[in-house]
Structure 1
Amino acid sequence: MRILYTGILVCLANFVFSQKNASVSFEKWVSLKSSNSPVISPDGKTIVYTVTSTDWAANSYDSEIWMYKEGGEPFQLTRTNKSSSTAVQFSPDGRFVSFLADRGEKTQLHVIQVNGGEAIQISKEEEGVSAYKWSPDGLQIAITKTEADTKRDKTIKERYGSFGVEGEEYKQTHLWILNFNQDSVKIQASKRLTEGNFNVSGFDWSPDGKSIVFNRQKDPLINSGISADIVMINTSDKKSTSLVANPAADGFIRWNPEGTEFVYNSTVTDSVSQFYKNNRLFIYDMASRKSREIATDIDENKNVIDWNAKGLFILALERTKQKLYTVDTKTGTSKPVSLPLDLVAALSFSKNSDAIALLGRNYEGLSDVYLWRMNGPVKLISNNAAQISSWNTPVNEVIQWKSKDGASIEGVLLKPRNFDPAKKYPLLVVIHGGPTAIDFPEPLPTNVYPVMQWIEKGAVVLRVNYRGSAGYGEKFRSLNVRNLGVGDMWDVVSGVEFLNSKGFIDTSRMGSMGWSQGGYISAFLTTNTNMFKAISVGAGISNWVTYYVSTDITPFTQQYLKATPWSDMDIYLKTSPMTNISKASTPTLIQHGEFDKRVPISNAYELYRGLQDRGIPSKLVVYKGFGHGINKPKERLAAIWHNWQWFNKYIFGEEEALPVD
């Protein structure tokens, strides 16, 4: 590890020189560590969490478990070569930490004693373990795993080779049970619990340990989740009982401590409402078999964190903050819980104390793990923010303006620390995906766009929370229904006009970029405006018909456009960038993953060919072997450089070769 680190430092010295006006190299940015998934022990004295670091030699991101014990300092608990340790849990008695990792025999379940020792593998499943849950008494562990190939499957492949039938290329996932003997920890054979032509997704033990509730859907394909039901199975006699079976998606979330009720998520009758409508939470009463809706006073999507003796807790966005709420389970009303953080990402409540582990941050910092006791101060456990304490990070400001149709739009303006409102700055617009995502104030935004380095070069950056973004309520999220691209463009253009009215942007040097839905909006700007000098389209949609027939989430298009191409071609033409390709004039970089199923790469080739045919400067970069995101550090570094080169050329007038030394 020390040799690798030294080598990276040598590389960084070279790259700092080649990145003009940038104090922090792209490698150093990509190499930042992050903390996630804090879990607290039942007695509240120990916290485990994962730390993700960059392994340049293996071209991967490695997640390992760290442990904090009351009164001590955090230390690394696991070291897993060529794999990550994930899905961390405590055993119910707090004696063991369990996790999933591939240590040479596919992803298996391992345990390690809290008081020390080596990790011990306790499962040996041919297809690996997908997920797991401890029984309340700690004597059993429920796991899910994918069905293995049958003899017939193997024979067909041997005789006919590899082929797949659309909509039939999957293996079901089912529940199995492992016994656990804490006095003799070793690999145990699993016993099958569920059988049938269906797929098990989320699940949990009932508090009495006699049953398991799970989400049942017809297959594991992404679109089948819109018809999932909630089922309970008795672990002794395998008798199943259907509990919630609305026409659309139902999903179990959490039991109450007594096991008399549970909270679940449901779209009730609308099979595609999960895209822009608020999710709905219900409590199911086991005695009456009836449900009641809760938390309707929160006009946003709601994420249930826990239901314990202290109450039912949920997280929800409120504009550019994410807050913790407690819900009165009788009246269904909610109230915010005060926390000294702008963004709360995750919480873990100890069962037998008032201690809580949480992951969160304030706007100016990075996400860190904290120890908290409700209504008290937070104690910093990890210290990721220290990594950037000496960096020249930008100043963030939340701004607001009116769009073309009068809609109120917010955005995050990033400025250099020595910002002078009397100067003229180049403007770069960075557009988030989703569309139901959101941009927050943060020191190092984005994954492949070097915002901090551009600001150091003398630019300002605008991140637009355009219509459809999360955090502003269901009505706002629905403003781009049958108005995709068009309304989004209004919001971006009006944001630029608002900044121009302040007198500090150079409108002759402006660029725009985004990934996924942000890539689509950037493509729409390419073919419908000429205000930008350069644009970058990352994994973006260029033609809604092309997208509709090839994406893995066809219901997305049906909901937002309220039609298929065959029932209303006009709306598909109105909202597709390719419709106005003859008006395009902006130099455009296109970035796309080779095997993207969410936005298939045919969209990239279509836009590229249209631009090339018109003689417009354009470049298509295909990241080999990747899907919708760039999830390896070397290719991420390449994508950063490609954007850096493109905008430096067209905005700053600088040609810079990809460094190879």
Structure 2
Amino acid sequence: MKTSVVSLFLSLAFSGAVVAKTPLAQASLTEPKGQFELFSTAASLQKSRSCFSGPYQSYDSFMAMRIKMGKNQPKFSEATLRAELPKAKFELFQQTLDCQDFVYRVGDLPVRGFMIKPKQISGKAPVVIYNRGGNGDYGKLTFSFVMNNLMPVAEQGFVILASNYRGQHNWNQNSGVKAGFDEFGGADLEDVKALLPIAQGMKQADANRLGMWGHSRGAMMTYMLAKSMPELKTIVVGAGPTDLAKELEIRPEMENVFKGRIPNYNINKTVALKERSVLFWPEQLPADLPILIQHGDKDKHVPVTSSEQLSMKLKALQHPHKLLIYPGADHGFRPVQAKAQQDRINWLKLYLG
């Protein structure tokens, strides 16, 4: 599947301590060595290692790796990379945050995820589950994304858990791991639900103060999950599609993604798209669940009308929500990412404490 197609919904590695034996997927992540203590007592948690290991042990080794990788990318700029990920930011997060790259099981499938939390927590911290955008390999969670987008939220006193969803994109091609298949809002919903027991097994996490945040495809999944997760106290959705059939009229190329991801799509298209389109069932959302909707009015992937139409339906239902539209912002909220991020943090603090 070509990147130009799959990029339309942008977002944007054992009990006790054991040694990781299974190679992890991303070329930028090396196999953890030594012994690592699991951060949760959940039986599903299989492996865990610090994000700040391997080439991420220091800012210099991280930059050397990224520069080497970027040499074959025509638009790569070392100056831009260093501006986006400055040394002071890297070292501050390394000193103050616990970031774990982990493997957990959902049924018979191994799935990868990330956990980020402050190293120093007084009592217990509220939990936020983050749902990534993209599909399969495109948009998968990377160290750079985690540092730029998830660590700043964790720094504000939250435990962040994020799934990379099931699929071969989590593993090296020669690993032989049977990892299932990303269904773009199908069985992969279970990968997100399975993060709750992990949160409940964390000593410093307050799973009773649980929020969810998703972007693009992750926003779509956040709406879907809210129907069956009464534990949620609030959700935040960014640039989320609310009517996938309408999206096809605007971006017909997405049909290739749907055909390639959604099971039985050719014979079940109408039902499958409605199941993933909150605009058809807003009354199924918990009536007292506060929702923050964020969207840029220059979004070329998911038009702002998608969120505006949902907001009108929520208003008619008297559903507590807030719609924030960012003038001039694109699908990733550029150039006002900092403003959108602070709005998100303020909302989470308001409803999770």
What's the TM-score, normalizing by structure 1? 0.39
- Per-residue deviation, residues 63-95 of structure 1 (Å, max 9, x unmatched): xxxxxxxxxxxxxxxxxxxxxxxxxxxxxxxxx
Aligned residues: 294
Shift of 1:476: 6.7
Three-state SS of the structure 2 residue aligned to 1:492 is helix
Greater relative contact order structure (CA < 8 Å, 6+ sep): 2
Equivalent AA in structure 2 for residue 401 of structure 1: Y
**What pairs with 1:433-472 in structure 2 (closer than 5 Å)?**
433-436=133-136, 437-441=139-143, 445-447=147-149, 451-452=151-152, 454-468=153-167, 470-472=169-171
Once superposed, what is the RMSD of the aligned Cα atoms?
3.9
Q: Is 1:642 paired with 2:336? A: no
After superposition, residues 407-426 of structure 1 pair within 5 angstroms as 407-418=109-120, 423-426=123-126
Q: Which amino acid aligns with 1:519?
A: A
Matched ranges for 1:80-229 at <5 A? none
- Alpha-carbon distance between aligned partners in 1 of 2:312 and 2:179, rounded to the nearest angstrom: 33
Shift of 1:557: 2.4
Q: What secondary structure sits across from 1:445 in the alignment?
A: helix
SS across alignment from 1:558: helix
What's the counterpart of residue 300 of structure 2?
597
More helix by share: 2
| Distance in 2, Cα, partners of 1:428 & 1:274 | 25
User: Could you tell me which residue of structure 1 aligns to residue 63 of structure 2?
Assistant: 368
* 1:444-499 CA-partner distances (Å, limit 9, x unpaired): 6244x6x43x4344321112111247333688776233xx3242321111111222
- CA distance in 2 between counterparts of 1:443 and 1:418 reads 23
CA distance in 2, matches of 1:610, 1:517: 20
1:322 aligns with 2:28: yes
> Alignment identity in percent?
20
The question of whether the paired residues in 1 share the 8 Å contact of 2:129 and 2:213 is answered with: yes
* 2:248 pairs with 1:545: no
Distance 2:58 2:211 in 1: 25
Determine whether 1:610 maps to 2:316. no
For each residue in 1:153-201, what CA deviation from the matched residue of structure 2 results, as whole angstroms up to 9, or x when unmatched? xxxxxxxxxxxxxxxxxxxxxxxxxxxxxxxxxxxxxxxxxxxxxxxxx
Unpaired runs of at least 5, structure 2 = 9-22, 31-51, 69-78
Decide whether the 8 Å contact of 2:165 with 2:182 is kept in 1: no
Amino acid at match of 1:493: K
Deviation at 1:535?
Answer: 1.0
Q: TM-score, normalised by structure 2?
A: 0.69
2-structure distance, mates of 1:532, 1:466: 20
Question: By percentage of residues, which structure has more strand?
Answer: 1
The answer to whether the 8 A contact 1:395-1:443 is kept is no
Alpha-carbon displacement from aligned partner over 1:227-279 (angstroms, at most 9, x marks no partner): xxxxxxxxxxxxxxxxxxxxxx9xxxxxxxxxxxxxxxxxxxxxx8999xxxx
| 8 Å CA contact retained: 1:526, 1:588 | no
Structure 1, unmatched stretches of 5+, are 1-222, 227-248, 250-271, 276-316, 325-340, 344-360, 373-380, 653-661
- In structure 2, the CA distance between the partners of 1:565 and 1:591, relative to structure 1 (3 Å rule), is farther
Provide Cα deviations, 1:76-130, integer angstroms capped at 9, x if missing partner: xxxxxxxxxxxxxxxxxxxxxxxxxxxxxxxxxxxxxxxxxxxxxxxxxxxxxxx
1:509 to 200, 204, 209: 209
Equivalents in 2 of 1:592, 1:435: separation in Å? 20
What SS does structure 2 have at the residue aligned with 1:487? coil
User: Contact 2:121/2:157 (CA < 8 Å) preserved in 1?
Assistant: no
Call closer, same or farther: CA 1:519–1:473 in 2, change over 3 Å: farther
Question: Does the residue aligned with 2:108 lie in a helix, a strand or coil?
Answer: coil
Structure of larger gyration radius? 1
Report the 3-state secondary structure (helix = DSSP H, G, I; strand = E; otherwise coil) of the residue aligned with 1:439: coil
| Shift, 1:591, TM fit | 1.1
Paired amino acid for 1:570: V
Name the structure 1 match of 2:236.
536
For the Cα contact (< 8 Å) 2:290–2:321, is it kept in 1? yes
Shift of 1:589: 0.9
Distance 1:624 1:463 in 2: 29
